[in-house]
Amino acid sequence: MGFDIFLQSPPGELLDRSIIEHAFANMIVGDPKSDFWNLHADDGEMYLANLFIGEGPSIDGFMVARPPWVPEFWDAIFDILRQTQSFLVWPAGGPGPIYCVANPDWQSYLPADLVESMGPPALVAAAEEIPKVIEASGA
């Protein structure tokens, strides 16, 4: 069974795909303009991770199947979170937050109904906090 994560823009908003391409530039195998990326380590070793992303210059988010639990990956995710008004969500079974943001002004852009249904997000200030928040959620 795999674990998937989803990086989403707020409803009705779009993300600049070039920010995502830039964040993952050193990890993408193949054409960065495609809608499916395999990811690899600096030494060329392939991860089992697959990133599914919409085509076009603006997208509403992307999904990563089997994300690699390595610092470079979380650095890329954090880079996107801090540059955009996006949030990272994952399936979880515990009481903790099931999504996170890096923008301390999240209340100005996340819709109240989303926060009401999912609870408040975890606010992360560094890339290494993301996997810790995910693990603490019971995922």
Above pLDDT 90, what percent of the chain?
Answer: 78
Mean pLDDT of the chain: 92
Put residue 76 in one of left, alpha, beta given phi > 0 → left and psi -120 to 50 → alpha.
alpha
Tell me: the pLDDT tens digits for 64-119?
999 999 999 999 999 999 999 999 999 877 777 999 999 999 999 999 999 999 99
Kindly report whether the global pTM for this prediction surpasses the value 0.85: yes
User: What number is the average pLDDT over the span 2-17?
Assistant: 93
Q: Tell me what pLDDT residue 44 has.
A: 85
Q: Residue 1: is its pLDDT beyond 70?
A: no
